[in-house]
A and B are shown apart, each in its own frame.
Chain A
């Protein structure tokens, strides 16, 4: 079957760093996405990894290890606006069927 696991909730302090982990077991692999979703809004694209390693984009970085079925999203210099759900998602095949995890709700404390 297809399974994506990520923590349900995390809490961090403004200005700090937080790492959100994601593990996946899918029938195939054709890329891993991270999306941010604020309450009541649509997901917005953060990152895409298809090869092993770290992709850095401003305050956000994403890491992938295909052999371990593991990824993480690293958020630096946290801001209050980063309070949101973060969705890990895998494209298992070459079509657009993207399998989403349940999301990690991140709370930022002042």
Chain B
């Protein structure tokens, strides 16, 4: 079985631009969560989606948005990028107790 897949793996954007990150959960998992991890810190919760509905939101500005599709894949959008948005963005899917993470998308804003 394929694990959680994220695309792209690396991305470089300019300040002010917009970015879309994609995540495909493990087959059968209906819950997808997004996390931001800056260097030297633990992951910070951004969003959770379950059955296409937002179930939780972390302390992130409205520039961050997400959605989940009927096949349970998900997109994270970030508008008006700032230098501080440079981080590893992780997607996690859950079907039971354990949450499995994808390899992440490393976003660099210059």
Contact = CB atoms under 8 A, between A and B. Distances in A.
Nearest to B32: A96
Contacts of A89: 42
Contacts of B56: 93, 95-97
B42 A96 contact: no
A97 B99 CA distance: 11
B105 to A, nearest CB: 10
B55 A96 contact: yes
SS class of chain B's interface: helix, strand, loop or mixed? strand
Interface string B25-63: 000000101010000111111001010000110100000
Contacts, number: 58
A97 B42 contact: no
Interface string A60-103: 00000000000000000000000000010100010111111111
Given A42-B90, A43-B43, A100-B42, A95 B99 contact: no
Nearest to A39: B39
Interface residues of B, number: 25
Contact of A42 (B94, B97, B103): B103
Interface of A: 4, 31, 33, 35, 41-45, 48, 50, 87, 89, 93, 95-103
Given A42-B101, A96-B50, 13 more contacts: A42-B102, A42-B104, A43-B90, A45-B100, A48-B97, A95-B48, A96-B33, A96-B92, A97-B33, A97-B56, A98-B45, A100-B42, A103-B41
